[in-house]
Amino acid sequence: MKRINTILVCLFMIIGSSCFGQNTPNFNETLNKAQNGDVKAQCILGYMYYNGDRTIKNYKKAFYWYKKSAEQGNFIAQCNLGLMYHNGEGTLKDINKAFYWYKKSAEQGGEEAQFNLGVMYAKGEGTLKNYKKAFYWCKKSAERGQVDAQYCLGLMYYNGEGTFVNKKQSAYWIRKAYENRHSKAEKAWNDLELWKYE
């Protein structure tokens, strides 16, 4: 039986979130709003500093603004703050704090954070290794449309990691990931011969 190691594939997919849609706001207006306590503007300003969007890239300032917004409950800022702790960007690397902030965001429905939390449970980072919880959070994220979670969920169903083996569900989620343009989904579909289970 062919097998793709789900955890190895998914370990390198920790991701962040964008704070705004297609329209990037003006930097000075955003800074002014953020300094006056606007939670969303604080998150957007963190994003701008993190990506060097309309300003010079500055991880310390990104961390500062994400933290202000995250502490006030913004789930996008919470996910991105978790990412900064996870990678040690703008702060010291702290896996326990990354886990904490991902969980706060995931509990509010942040699909990127749900996926990241699932990966951390699978790896045992910031918590004990727990494939059932990894499966739970990846499934929540996949159901909300997060493509990396869809791909990993398909592999988890195929390998029976955190759940029973279910090739039909595996085929469903790998196909969904492919339809959403996941770069590895077509290869998994063919290598695992998932067309047999549709």
Gyration radius from the chain CA atoms: 18
Q: Which of 11-20, 63-72, 189-198 has the lowest mean pLDDT?
A: 11-20
Averaged pLDDT, 14-30: 74
Q: Are the C-beta atoms of residues 99 and 125 closer than 8 Å to each other?
A: yes
Per DSSP, helices labelled H in 2-74 are 6-10, 27-35, 39-51, 59-71
- pTM value is 0.91
- Could you give all domains of the chain from N- to C-terminal order, each with its CATH number? 30-108 (1.25.40.10), 131-198 (no CATH)
Residue 8 has pLDDT above 60, yes or no: no
Which band of pLDDT confidence, cut at 50, 70 and 90, is reported for residue 6?
A: low
Question: Tens of pLDDT along 50-107?
Answer: 999 999 999 999 999 999 999 999 999 999 999 999 999 999 999 999 999 999 999 9
H/E element holding 104? helix 95-107
pLDDT for 56: 97
